């Protein structure tokens, strides 16, 4: 998976020649990116990309919908990625807790990498179920679970939009 964080412009150049999952995080300041530009990946810049991406993960709070009453179901940013050539988006529909979001997305992609026949929808479902059944916040000092991730606030914000397939036939 290619991660886009502080180095947006370098990542955009890499995306022009790669087929991969793409993770968009919070923009870093331009001095961290070390490239020209403002460090922010805009909808216009996304629409100018030519992607062949199975996934784009919009990793922030409430990335799934437009803003305001009567807004469209998919954000402008999401529509821009579809226009650019992604097949599926993983978005959140309300604010997310950072640690459980990391656990869920990491597990999702680990599962899909391990089992090529697993579709994107199945991988997301299994990662959610694992979070419900097995996950929880572990105190780094004591090593003990402080609370469980079974509550929907930890796994329910995430939605797959677009092509939920993508699994390769089992050999």
The per-residue pLDDT for range 34-48, each reduced to its tens digit, is: 556 676 778 888 889
Same domain, 81 and 139: no
CB 2 within 8 A of CB 15: yes
| Within a domain: 86 | yes
Whether residues 103 and 81 share a domain: the answer is no
**Residues sharing a CB contact under 8 Å with residue 117, sequence separation 6 or more, in sequence order:** 167, 168, 169, 170
Which residue ranges in the chain fall short of pLDDT 70? 1-37, 39, 65-73, 168-171
Closest-CA residue to 61 (of 88, 27, 98): 98
- Are residues 140 and 70 part of one domain? no
Which of these three, 48, 74, 95, is where a domain ends?
95
Domain extent, residue 126, equals 97-155
149 with 100: CB under 8 angstroms? yes
**Pair (143, 87) in one structural domain:** no
Could you tell me if 114 and 146 lie in one domain?
yes
16 & 87 share domain: yes
pLDDT recorded at residue 35: 54
- Rg of the chain on CA atoms, in Å: 17
Residue 167 lies in a domain: no
- Which tokens belong to 114? 């391990």
Nearest Cα to 44, choosing from 84, 72, 1, 13?
84
- pLDDT at res. 129: 96
Tally of structural domains, the chain: 2
């Amino acid at each position: 998976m290619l991660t886009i964080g502080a180095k947006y412009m370098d990542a955009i150049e890499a995306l022009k020649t790669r087929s991969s999952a793409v993770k968009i995080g919070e923009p870093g300041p331009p001095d961290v990116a070390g490239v020209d530009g403002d460090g922010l990946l805009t909808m216009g810049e996304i629409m100018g990309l030519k992607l062949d991406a199975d996934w784009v993960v919009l990793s922030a709070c409430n990335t799934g919908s437009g803003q305001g009453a009567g807004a469209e179901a998919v954000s402008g940013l999401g529509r821009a990625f579809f226009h650019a050539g992604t097949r599926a988006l993983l978005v959140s529909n309300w604010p997310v807790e950072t640690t459980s979001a990391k656990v869920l997305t990491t597990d999702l992609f680990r599962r899909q990498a391990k089992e090529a026949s697993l579709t994107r929808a199945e991988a997301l479902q299994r990662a959610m179920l694992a979070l419900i059944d097995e996950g929880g916040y572990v105190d780094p000092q004591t090593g003990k679970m402080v609370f469980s991730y079974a509550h929907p606030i930890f796994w329910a914000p995430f939605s797959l939009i677009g092509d939920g397939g993508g699994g390769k036939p089992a050999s």
